[in-house]
Structure 1
Amino acid sequence: MEITQSNSVDIAIIGGGVAGCTAAIALSNSYNVALIDKLSEPVERVGECLAPAARRIFKQLGLLDEFEKKINEIHQRNNGMQSYWGSKNVQIVDPLRNPDGFGWQLNRKEFESFLRKKAVERSPNCFWSYQLFQCKFENEHWVLTFASTNEISKKKVIRAKFVIDASGRQSHFAKKIGVERQSVDKLISIWATLTNEEISTLSTISASQSGWWYTAPLPNKKRIMAFQTDSDLIEHAQLKTKEAFINLALCNEQMKTILEKSKNSIQFNGIVAANSTQLKQVTGQQWAALGDAAISFDPLSSQGMFNAMANALQLTDLLTEHQIIFQPNSEKTNQFQREYSEQVNQIWKHYLHHKRIFYSQELRWSNSEFWKRRR
């Protein structure tokens, strides 16, 4: 027998990651919000750098003091980066002149758990282990059916006046209603974690012939190491095992130095998409896409999490300003859609411009397919 539970809310947010939780926390002061995610709890993810400007967002959400107390548990200070980009000589990039101060290196899993906890405190309608199964628009509401990922026969139906797709690059809701996604490149990230034995607290970025390496210290004496390349430029065997990853890393001088101290502690985490992608339509009939579901960034930018959080506050402000949840009409809705689309599009254009500038600075491998594609 199928067990079905129903809820009616103002806003349903699909995706309980950084974007979705930030939106739920921000919107719950004014709306009845439901937050739904397919995972029972956050998992380890690549992507740990949070920009200093996020301090303003934490303050606006009323979370700054509590977050800053979580030092070593969730975060440690980002002291800057040593860059081997465009030259074999190192350049130091530090945040000393940044008006927002220092950023953070995060334990990503613990950070997302922190945001989930704050979302639950603000909204009673948080549902984990439910995956979007079906959606339809009827009687000025979205009717969303979610299937439990734990119990085969269990479903949840949520009626919402507005839907926010915060489901990451998969953009599950947008895909269900037929919105396409376009990719700029084929970038992937092959990543691992290991014990941090380095005295230096700086992150390191190092370009190579077929891509670029990144490594950074994390809380609790951990370290992330990742290689970024295009999916069609690397042997598939080099994507599958810890041994293959280590052999690849040993070809890079900076990574080799680190691995010589920590090779035995490495945990290979596999491959994730890291390409620049854009949803062809980021808002429509009583819905909007948020964070990576709307636009996803190359990790070179170090802006993915910050954009997700900032985007959530922008969307919150527009929904509050135009009041299309409680007072829907075509004029207000059209204005909201124009403004939100333009905001996201401007961020996308700005990002692509700076992405081209950064990649064009590396000229050492003029015949490499990876670098030619980016010039």
Structure 2
Amino acid sequence: MESEINKEVDIAIIGGGLAGCTAAIALAKSYNVVLVDQTDSPPERIGECLAPAARRILKQLDLLEGLEKTRLDSEQSLHLKHIGTQSYWGTEQAYVVDHLRNPDGFGWHLDRQAFEIYLRETALQRGVNCFWPAKLQSAHFENHRWQLSATANDKVSNNLLYRFKAKFVIDATGRQSQFARKIGVGREQYDKLISCWLTLPNQEANKMSTISASEFGWWYSAPLPHNRRVLALQTDPDLISRNTLKNVDQFIQLAQSNQQMARLIQRNCAATNFHQIVSANSTRLNQIAGQQWVALGDAAMSFDPLSSQGMFNAMAAAVQLTELIMERDSTGSLAPQKLKDIQISYTQQLDQIWAHYMHHKKTYYRQEMRWKDADFWKRRH
């Protein structure tokens, strides 16, 4: 028999990743917040580098001490120090950006999955009503409230149905933008970039991230916790054969054709774990915010990983949205007119961010002219 749980809340956040959890933690002091995600545990992801500027956000939300205490055992930290990046872009000479003099200190090479679990656990501790695994089924607006339904996405719950009435909805479901799609908002794709990645043993003394351009795209590699290293190729799906992208040996051989990647790959790749191919293209919703709802993080707009700021942008956007809500809704009532003001201001903010991003993306890709006649680069020049 199907059973139901009904809740009236101030804010419903759909999506329990970086953006969703950060927003939930930031808003929990002032509002009754519900957080819904379709997975019972965060999945593995390629994005593991957190910029030094994130230290300010972690301090503001009282998350920094907990992050730095997280350890594998009494000796080894779960997250590595990120000292900087070396890039081979437009030249064979390395261009190095280090964090030695960064006022925020060093960044982190994260165990991304462990970090997201930490954020989920913190959200629970801060009083956020969390429901997972639960998949959003429907959304409609009625009597100044969003009526949401979600079904428990596991066998134990026996068709449990969640119904939420929310004054405000935040879509933080990543590129899928599940809530926005439910209410008919489309998404525009500006390119077809994909990222194909694997992890392998790391025996390199160099702890910097590495970016290296090639004829058919660009490579990225960085150390990870647990003595591992990520190796990723960003390309367009029609430029590399599908077999190469799905076969470990062929993919390693392709990586070895790049001088910088060849230096990083150990001859013994027996412990190589091939993960998946994921979308890495620039996309954005046709409508960033609407009647008593907004999209946040990748759900609003997704950036080319070349920006190297995906995780920081997700957390910063969540904090900025929270500050905007608190500023415009000083009484904590989330009245419709206040929410209309938030919608307008938030849309203006994100339009400016998008214009800034697109300009810098074009400028940066045009700095690489060694393969100006190759399809990958012509599409971006």
TM-score in terms of structure 2 length: 0.95
Question: Quick one: which of 207, 231, 235 aligns to 1:229?
Answer: 235
How far does residue 327 in structure 1 lie from its aligned partner after superposition?
A: 4.6
Question: Quick one: which of 189, 200, 203 aligns to 2:195?
Answer: 189
Question: Quick one: which of 123, 127, 137 aligns to 1:123?
Answer: 127
Structure 1 equivalent of residue 258 of structure 2 = 252
Q: Do the aligned partners of 1:143 and 1:157 also contact (CA within 8 Å) in 2?
A: yes
Q: Residues of 2 paired with 1:97 and 1:338: CA distance?
A: 38
Letter in 2 for 1:66: G
How far does residue 241 in structure 1 lie from its aligned partner after superposition?
A: 2.4
Structure 2 equivalent of residue 241 of structure 1 = 247
Q: Residues of 2 paired with 1:325 and 1:145: CA distance?
A: 25
Aligned residues: 374
Question: Quick one: which of 266, 273, 283 aligns to 2:272?
Answer: 266
Q: Once superposed, what is the RMSD of the aligned Cα atoms?
A: 1.5
Task: Trace 1:189-208 onto structure 2 (pairs within 5 A).
Answer: 189-208=195-214
Q: Residues of 2 paired with 1:33 and 1:189: CA distance?
A: 34
Which piece of structure 1 moves more, 252-261 or 277-286?
Answer: 252-261
Q: Give yes or no for the alignment of 1:92 onto 2:96.
A: yes
Letter in 1 for 2:344: R
Three-state SS of the structure 2 residue aligned to 1:260 is coil
How far does residue 266 in structure 1 lie from its aligned partner after superposition?
A: 0.8
How far does residue 227 in structure 1 lie from its aligned partner after superposition?
A: 0.2
Q: Residues of 2 paired with 1:201 and 1:175: CA distance?
A: 41
How far does residue 100 in structure 1 lie from its aligned partner after superposition?
A: 1.6
Q: Residues of 2 paired with 1:325 and 1:18: CA distance?
A: 24
Question: Which digits, 9 at most, give the CA deviation of each residue in 1:12-71, with x for residues without a partner?
Answer: 100000000000000000000001100010121011111111111011101122222336
Structure 2 equivalent of residue 326 of structure 1 = 333
Task: Trace 1:305-316 onto structure 2 (pairs within 5 A).
Answer: 305-316=311-322
**Is there any run of 5+ residues in structure 1 with no aligned partner, and where?**
none
Question: Which digits, 9 at most, give the CA deviation of each residue in 1:157-214, with x for residues without a partner?
Answer: 1111111000000000001101111111110000001111111111111110000000
Q: Residues of 1 paired with 2:24 and 2:173: CA distance?
A: 13
Task: Trace 1:257-296 onto structure 2 (pairs within 5 A).
Answer: 257-296=263-302
How far does residue 113 in structure 1 lie from its aligned partner after superposition?
A: 0.6
Q: Residues of 2 paired with 1:213 and 1:329: CA distance?
A: 47
Q: Compared with structure 1, are the counterparts of its residues 6 and 214 closer, same or farther at alpha carbon in structure 2 (3 Å cutoff)?
A: same
Structure 1 runs of 4+ off > 4 angstroms? none
Q: Do the aligned partners of 1:11 and 1:160 also contact (CA within 8 Å) in 2?
A: yes
Structure 1 equivalent of residue 80 of structure 2 = 76
Q: Give yes or no for the alignment of 1:146 onto 2:130.
A: no
Q: Do the aligned partners of 1:161 and 1:325 also contact (CA within 8 Å) in 2?
A: no
Structure 2 equivalent of residue 317 of structure 1 = 323
Q: Compared with structure 1, are the counterparts of its residues 318 and 129 closer, same or farther at alpha carbon in structure 2 (3 Å cutoff)?
A: same
